[in-house]
Structure 1
Amino acid sequence: MKLLKLTATFGCLDHETLEFSPGMNLIGAPNGSGKSTWCAFLRTMLYGLDTRQRDRKGAPADKNRYRPWSGAPMEGQLLCEHQGRTILLQRTSAGGVPMGDFSATDQETGLPVPGLTADNVGEVLTGVSREIFDRSVFLRQTGLAVSQSQDLEKRIAALVAAGEEDVSWSESDERLKTWQRRRRYHKTGLLPQLEEEEAQLRASLEQTASLRQELAQVQSRAAGLRRQKEHWDSRLSIENDKFKTVSQQRYAQAAAELDAAELRVQTLRGQMEKAPHTPDSQRNWEEEIQEIQDELRSRHRMMVGFVVVILLLTLVAAALYILPHIPQFPLSLPTIPLWIPAVVAGVLWLLVLIFSIIKVLCDRQDHKDLKDLHYLVDTSEKDHSEQARSLQEALLLRDQARKLFEAISQQRGSGPYLPPEAEVCRESLHRAEQEIAQLQGQLSALGDPALIDARLDNVQEEKARLQEEYDALTIAMEAMQEADDQLHARFSPQVSRRAEGYFTQLTPGDYHDLSLTRSMEVTLRQGPSLARHPLALLSQGTADQLYLALRLAVADLVFPDPRDCPLILDDALLTFDDRNLARALALLCRLAQEEGRQILLFTCQHREFRMLQDLDGVACQSLHGF
C-alpha cells in the first residue's frame, strides 16, 4: 500500500490536506501544529475510531481528544494505491457517531471496492491488525518500545515456522491457563468449588445422621413423658369430679350466707331509718332541754329579784315607822301606826311565799321534763349505738361472706391443684415437643439424605473429571512450553540478528550480541565485557536507537515485502544526537531507495531538513510556516 493524500477535519486540522510521494517523505511542523494529529488521523482512517473508549484521568478518549476544534463534524479522506488500484477511503460522522460512516471507492471506476468495510479496511490494505501496525511500522516518540502482542507473535512465528498465522503460543498458553484456572487457581475455580460443595454435602449427611439420632432420643423421652402426662390427666379427671361436687356445695353455702348477711344489713338499715333517733329529733330534744334549762334559770333570776324587791320594800316600811320615833332625826316625818308597816310587810312576804311555792312546783315539773328528756336522749343514743354496732357487724359479716363467695367462685374455675411433679412433667413434655419440632425443621432444611447422597456422587464424579482435565491441561502446557522453547530458539535469533544489524548501522558499533525474549525485552553486551546489560541501563538516546532497530527488524519480519505498508515516524528521532541522527536518516533513505518502502518522517526539528533537503528521492514539506 502506498499513501497518496490525506484530507482531514480532525482535532486542530480543519479541512487540511497532506500529500505524499513514494520513498522518503520529510514533513516538518512546529510543536502544536498537528504532526501527531496527522498520524492519529491516518491510523483512524485505516482502523477506525473506538467510540466505546472512555475518558480516563489525564487521558481523554480519542473521540474527545480529536473532536474538531472548529465545531465541524469529524471527517476525512485517504487516497492510496493498493495492488495497482487507486482507492479513496472516506469516513464521516453520522447519527451522532464520529467517523461512523465509511466508504471505499475505486477512483478509476467510481464503484465501491468490494470486500472493504469500516472494520477490515486496515487489515486488508496493510495485511496486519491494528496491534501489529502499532508495534511494527507506527513509531511515535512516546511509543518506540516494542511490546508483546499475540497478533505480532502469531505473525513472527508464522514467518519463522510453517507460515500459518492461526495460533500464537502466548494466546494458546493463556487460553490453557484460563481453562486451567477455571478449574483451579489457588482457592478459586470449579475444583475448589466442588471440593467445598463436597465437604458441605458430607457435613450435611453427618449432621443429618446426628440430628436423626438426637431426634430418636428426644422422641423416646417424649413418649415416656406422654405416658406420665396421661397418668396425671386421669388423676386430674377424678379430682375434677370430686372438686366439682364439693365446689358446688361450698358455692351454694357461700351464696346462702351472702344472701343472709345482705338481708341482715338491709333489715338493720330499715330499723335505723324507722328509729326516732334521727338528727332532727336529736336536735329537737336538745333544743327542748336548752329551753327548759333557760326557763329554770330565768325563773330563778326572777325569784331572786322579786325577793330582793320585797326585802327592800320591807326595809322601807320599817324605816318609815322607825325614823319618826328618832328624836334628833332632822326630817319631820309623820308617825305611822305599827300595824300598817306590819300588814304591808306581811302581804309582801306572803306574795314571796306564794311565788316561791309556784316556782317550786314549776321547777319540779321542769326538772321532771328535763330528766325525761335526758333519759330519752340517753336511751336513743344507746339504742342508736347498738343498732350502728349491729349494722357494722352485719356489714363485716356481709363482706366476709362476699369474699368467701368470690374465692369459691374463682376456685370453681381453677379446678383442683396437682402435685409439682405433674407440672414438671408438663413442662418437660412441652420442651421435648419443641426440641422435636426444631430437629424436624433442621432436618427439613438439610433436605432428603437420598438426594444429598446422589448429589455427592455427582459432585465426586464431576470433581474426578475436572481433576483429569486439570492434569491433562498441566501436561499440555508443559508440552507446549517445551515446543515453544524450541520455536523461540528459532524465532529470537532472527529478530535479534536483524535488529543487531540495524543497531550497528545506527551506532558506532560499541554494542553487540543483542538478545530478545518473547516479551520483547532486550539485553546486550558492550565492548569486550561479558556482562549483559538490560535496556534500562542505557541512555535515552541509545535506548531509542535500539528501539528503532527493533522496530525495523520486526517490520522486516512482519512485512516481507516492504511495499506492503509505509513506515511512519512521529518525532521518533528526537533524542538522537546529530551524529547518530545522520546515521538514522541515511539508513531510512537507503531503505526507501533500495527496498521501495514509503517512509513518512514527521519532525519538529530543522536539522533533519538541513541533512536531507539536498538529497535526491526525498520529498520535504513544511507545514504552518515551519
Structure 2
Amino acid sequence: MRIHRMTATFGKLRGSTLELQDGLNILQAPNETGKSTWCAFLLAILYGINSRERDRAGFIADKNRFAPWSGVSMSGRMDCSTDLGELTLTRATRRQTSPMGEFAAVYTGTNEPVPGLTGTGCGESLLGISREVFERSAFIRQNGLSISQDAELERRVAALISSGEEGTSYTEAAEALKKQLNRRRHNRTGQLPALEAELADLERQLADSSALARQLADARAQAEALAVRVESVQGELAACDRWEAAQRRRVLSDAAEAARQAEDRAAQVREQLQRDQIPENETIARLRGAIVNLETTRKAVDKARSERDEAMKALLRAEAAVNESPFAGQTAEEARKSAASVPDSAPWPLSELLPSIFLGALALILSIISILGMNDAFADAIFYGIPCAIGALVIPIYKNHKWQKETSAFLKKHGVSSAAELRMQAAAYAKLWEARDAAQANANAKSAAADTLYNTLTSNEQGILLEVRRFAPGAFDIPTADQLLRSCAVRRKELAEVESAAREARLRCDLQAQQTPEADVPADEPPAPVRSREAVSADLEAARAALAQARSAADHLTGQLQALKNPEDLRARRAALEEQRAGLEAEYSAIRLAMETLERANTALQNRFSPELGRRAAEIFAQLTGSRYSGVVLDRSFRLSAEPAGDPVFRDAALLSAGTLDQLYLAVRLAICDLVLPPEKQVPIVLDDALANFDDRRCAAALRFLKEAAGDRQILLFTCHSREAEFFAGDGEVSIQRLTDAGEEV
C-alpha cells in the first residue's frame, strides 16, 4: 500500500492536505503543528473511530479529543495505491453520535465503489491486519514504543512458528479455561461454592425443623399457663372496679353538699350587698380612678402655684432693676430722648470760633487804629467797634463754658463721663423696662393658670363627694370617700370569690355525676382491694402481653414449620446435591490439569517463539546502537532484555537509559513488522517522534536503517527536530517536507 495524499478536517486540521511520496518521507514540524493529529487521522481513515469509547480519568476518547476546533464535523480523504488498485477513501460525519461513520471507497478518478470494502473492514482488508496488530507493530508513537500483549498479535506471531494458521492464541485458550475453572470455583463464588452453600442450607433446614418442633411445644404450654393467669387478674380488677364505684358515689354526695353550701353562701353575700346599696365594680373603679386623677390635678395645682410664685419673684427683681437706674420714673422712650439731647461736643468748637475771634481781633485793631488816629471815626470806633469786637470774643467763650458746666452736672448725675456712655445707659434701661414688662405678663399668665387648675380641682372634688354620698352619707372629704370605696371593692371581691367557688363546686358535682352512672352503684359496700388498681392493671397488662407474645411465638413457629419443606424431601435433595458436587469436583480437577498442560505447551512454544523474533530484533538493535548490543531476548508477554557485546549477562529493559530503551523498543517493533506484517500488503510504517530520545549518532544509524527498509514499503517519519531533514539533505530518494501550522495548508 502506498499513500499519495491525505486531506483532513480533524482536530486542529482545517481542510489541510498532506502530499506523500514513495519510500521514506521525513515530515518535519514544530510541536503543536498537527503531527500527532495526522497520525491519528491516518488510523481513523483506515479503521474508523470508536463512537462507544468514553472519556475517563487521564484519558480522552478520540471522538472528543480530535473533534474539529472550528466546530464543524469530522471528515477526511485519502488517495492511495493498494493491491485492489488506485483507491480514494473518504469518511464524513452525518450524525454527531457516529463521527467519521459515513464511509466511501471508490476507484480514483471514478465514482465506482470498491466492492466488499466497508468502513469497519477497510483497514484490515487493505493492510491485512487488524487495528490492534497495526497499532502494536507499524504504528509507532514516541509515548507508545513499548509493545503490549494482544491476542490478535499473539496469533500472528504463533502462526510464524507453528502451522501457519492464525486461529491459535495461548492467552485466549488460557482465558477460556480459566473462565471454566472460575465458573466451577473462584474463591467463594462458582458452581461448587453454590452447591456447598445449598448443602449447608439443607443441613440447616433439617436442624431448624427439629428445633422449631421443640420450641412450638414449649410455646403452647406457656400460652396455656398465661391464659389462666390473665383470667385470675381480671377477677381481681373487677373487684377493684366495684370498690371504686362505691367510692365515686360517696365523692358525688360530698360534692353535691359542698356545691349547695357554696351557692347558699353566695346568695347571702349578694343579698347583703343589695341591702347596703354597694355599687357595682364599674362604678367603684370609675370613682377610685377619679380620686387618683384628683391627686394628679392637685400636683398640677401645686406646680402651677410654685411657677406663679417664681414668676412674681422674677417680676420683683425686674422692677427693682428698673428703679435702681438713673432714669427711674421715665419710660424707655423718654430715657432715649433725654440721652439723645446731650451733644457729643461744645456748641462752638474751636474750629468754628477761629473766624469770630479773627474778626473780633480785626475789629478791635481797627478800633485802636481809629483811636490813635483821632479822626472822625473815633467816635464810631468807640461806640460800635469796640463792643462788637469784645462781643465776638467773649460771647462764644461764655456759651462754651456754660454748656460744659451744665453737661458735666447732667453726666455726673447719671454716673457717666460722656454722652456716648449716657446713650448706652439709656439703651440698657430700655432693655430693663422691656424685661419688667415681660415678667409682668408671665406673672399674670402663671397666676391665671394656677387659679384655673385650683377651680378644676375644687369642682372635681365636689362632684366625687356628691356621688359617693348617695350610698355613703358619711363621706365629707376625699380620704373618707376613698376609704369607703376601698371597702366596697373588698366586699364586691368577696362576692366574686364566693360566686366563683359556688360555680366550681357545681362543676365538680356535675363532673362527678357524669363519671358515676346510676347503674354503677353497688348494692352493698364492697371490701377494699388488697392491691392498688395501678398494680393490678400493670400485672394484667404484663400477663396479657406475655400471653400475646406466647401465642404469637407459637403462631410464628407454626408458620415456620409449615414453610419448611418435608424432612424426607430435604434428605433426598441433599443426596442429589452431593452427587452433583462430586461431578463438579471431578471437572474442576480435569480443567486444572488441562491448564497445567497448556502452560507447559506454552512454555515449549515460547522456546520456539523467542529466538526467531529475538534474533531479528537483535540484528536491528545492533545496527541502531553501533553493535553496542549483540542479543535480545523476550517472552510471549514481550518482556525484553538486552545482551551487551562481550558481556554474557542480559540486562533487563528497565535498567537501560531512556534513549537506549526507546532504541530497543524500536528494534523490536521493526522486527515484528518484518515477521508479522503481510509482505504482499506492503503495510506503511508510521513513526511519530519515535527518534526524539536518540542521540545524533544513533539517530543517524536509525535513519540509514529506515531508508533501507523504505525500499519495500512506505515509511512516514514525523519529527519535531531538523536533524533528520539535514541528514538527508540532497538525497533525492528521501522526501522531505517542512509542515506549517495545522491551521494553514501543508
Into which bin does the TM-score normalised by the smaller protein fall?
A: 0.5 to 0.7
Partner letter of residue 159 of structure 1? Answer: L
The 5-angstrom pairing of residues 106-145 of structure 1 reads 106-107=107-108, 110-145=111-146
Aligned to 1:388: none
Aligned to 1:204: 205
Question: 1:392-446, CA deviations, whole angstroms, 9 ceiling, x for partnerless residues?
Answer: xxxxxxx9xx9998234898xx9xxxxx9xx999999877544422321332444
Displacement of 1:112 in angstroms is: 1.4
Aligned to 2:709: 591
* Contact 1:229 1:426 (8 Å CA) reproduced: no
Mapped partners of 1:410, 1:466: distance in 2: 85
Partner letter of residue 611 of structure 2? Answer: P
Mapped partners of 2:568, 2:171: distance in 1: 47
Distance 1:564 1:448, change over 3 A: farther
1:74 aligns to 2:53 (yes or no): no
From 393, 397, 406, the equivalent of 2:521 is 406
* Contact 1:194 1:459 (8 Å CA) reproduced: yes
Displacement of 1:533 in angstroms is: 1.4
* Contact 1:10 1:37 (8 Å CA) reproduced: yes
Mapped partners of 1:608, 1:213: distance in 2: 93
Higher mean Cα deviation, 455-464 or 476-485?
455-464
Displacement of 1:106 in angstroms is: 2.0
Displacement of 1:215 in angstroms is: 2.8
From 549, 555, 560, the equivalent of 1:437 is 555
* Contact 1:74 1:98 (8 Å CA) reproduced: yes
The 5-angstrom pairing of residues 40-51 of structure 1 reads 40-51=40-51
Displacement of 1:151 in angstroms is: 0.9
From 611, 616, 622, the equivalent of 1:504 is 622
Partner letter of residue 85 of structure 1? Answer: G
The 5-angstrom pairing of residues 488-503 of structure 1 reads 488-503=606-621
Question: 1:90-129, CA deviations, whole angstroms, 9 ceiling, x for partnerless residues?
Answer: 1101022321211111226532112211111111111111
Partner letter of residue 479 of structure 1? Answer: T
Mapped partners of 2:223, 2:11: distance in 1: 90
Aligned to 2:409: none
Mapped partners of 1:89, 1:405: distance in 2: 107
Partner letter of residue 151 of structure 2? Answer: Q
Give the superposed CA RMSD: 4.3
Mapped partners of 2:718, 2:682: distance in 1: 20
Distance 1:69 1:223, change over 3 A: closer
Aligned to 1:328: none
Mapped partners of 2:165, 2:56: distance in 1: 38
Partner letter of residue 437 of structure 1? Answer: D
* Contact 2:128 2:678 (8 Å CA) reproduced: no
Partner letter of residue 507 of structure 1? Answer: T
Aligned to 2:53: 53
Displacement of 1:566 in angstroms is: 0.4
Mapped partners of 2:41, 2:520: distance in 1: 110
Displacement of 1:146 in angstroms is: 1.1
Mapped partners of 2:525, 2:652: distance in 1: 103
Question: 1:4-61, CA deviations, whole angstroms, 9 ceiling, x for partnerless residues?
Answer: 2111011111111112222111111121111111000000011111122222344322
Distance 1:134 1:21, change over 3 A: same
Question: 1:531-566, CA deviations, whole angstroms, 9 ceiling, x for partnerless residues?
Answer: 321111111111111111100111111114174310
Aligned to 2:21: 21
Displacement of 1:172 in angstroms is: 1.2
* Contact 2:6 2:18 (8 Å CA) reproduced: yes
Aligned to 2:100: 99
1:478 aligns to 2:596 (yes or no): yes
Higher mean Cα deviation, 69-78 or 180-189?
180-189
Distance 1:430 1:42, change over 3 A: closer
Question: 1:471-500, CA deviations, whole angstroms, 9 ceiling, x for partnerless residues?
Answer: 222111111111111111111111111100
Mapped partners of 2:521, 2:657: distance in 1: 112
Displacement of 1:614 in angstroms is: 2.1
Per the alignment, in what secondary structure is the counterpart of residue 94 of structure 1?
A: coil
Mapped partners of 2:40, 2:524: distance in 1: 104
Per the alignment, in what secondary structure is the counterpart of residue 99 of structure 1?
A: coil
Partner letter of residue 600 of structure 1? Answer: L
Question: 1:564-601, CA deviations, whole angstroms, 9 ceiling, x for partnerless residues?
Answer: 310111111111111111111111111112xx111111
**Percent of matched pairs sharing the same residue:** 43
Number of aligned positions between the proteins: 472
Mapped partners of 2:596, 2:196: distance in 1: 25
* Contact 1:562 1:597 (8 Å CA) reproduced: no
Partner letter of residue 612 of structure 2? Answer: Q
Mapped partners of 1:574, 1:485: distance in 2: 36
The 5-angstrom pairing of residues 91-490 of structure 1 reads 91-96=91-96, 97-107=98-108, 110-216=111-217, 221=221, 406-408=521-523, 433-450=551-568, 452-490=570-608
TM-score, reference length from structure 1: 0.67
Mapped partners of 1:578, 1:86: distance in 2: 38
Distance 1:130 1:407, change over 3 A: same
Per the alignment, in what secondary structure is the counterpart of residue 631 of structure 2?
A: strand
Displacement of 1:460 in angstroms is: 3.2
From 659, 670, 694, the equivalent of 1:541 is 659
Per the alignment, in what secondary structure is the counterpart of residue 558 of structure 2?
A: helix
Mapped partners of 1:410, 1:33: distance in 2: 114
Aligned to 1:35: 35
Aligned to 1:386: none
Mapped partners of 1:224, 1:438: distance in 2: 17
Per the alignment, in what secondary structure is the counterpart of residue 93 of structure 2?
A: strand
Higher mean Cα deviation, 164-173 or 445-454?
445-454
* Structure 1, unpaired ranges of 5+: 244-253, 270-278, 280-398, 415-419
Aligned to 1:396: none
Partner letter of residue 167 of structure 1? Answer: T
Mapped partners of 2:94, 2:572: distance in 1: 60
Distance 1:608 1:410, change over 3 A: farther
Per the alignment, in what secondary structure is the counterpart of residue 642 of structure 2?
A: strand
1:623 aligns to 2:739 (yes or no): yes
From 578, 588, 602, the equivalent of 2:718 is 602
Displacement of 1:188 in angstroms is: 2.6
Partner letter of residue 189 of structure 1? Answer: G
Partner letter of residue 158 of structure 2? Answer: A
Question: 1:245-288, CA deviations, whole angstroms, 9 ceiling, x for partnerless residues?
Answer: xxxxxxxxx9xxx9xxx9xx9xxx9xxxxxxxxx9xxxxxxxxx
Displacement of 1:183 in angstroms is: 2.2
Partner letter of residue 68 of structure 1? Answer: P
Distance 1:209 1:505, change over 3 A: same
Aligned to 1:303: none
Partner letter of residue 36 of structure 1? Answer: S
* Contact 2:9 2:74 (8 Å CA) reproduced: yes
* Contact 2:677 2:683 (8 Å CA) reproduced: yes
Mapped partners of 2:545, 2:700: distance in 1: 105
Higher mean Cα deviation, 80-89 or 544-553?
80-89
* Contact 2:182 2:190 (8 Å CA) reproduced: yes
Per the alignment, in what secondary structure is the counterpart of residue 17 of structure 1?
A: strand
* Contact 1:498 1:553 (8 Å CA) reproduced: yes
Aligned to 1:325: none
Per the alignment, in what secondary structure is the counterpart of residue 15 of structure 2?
A: strand
Displacement of 1:159 in angstroms is: 1.8
Displacement of 1:137 in angstroms is: 0.2
* Contact 1:88 1:106 (8 Å CA) reproduced: yes
Higher mean Cα deviation, 458-467 or 112-121?
458-467
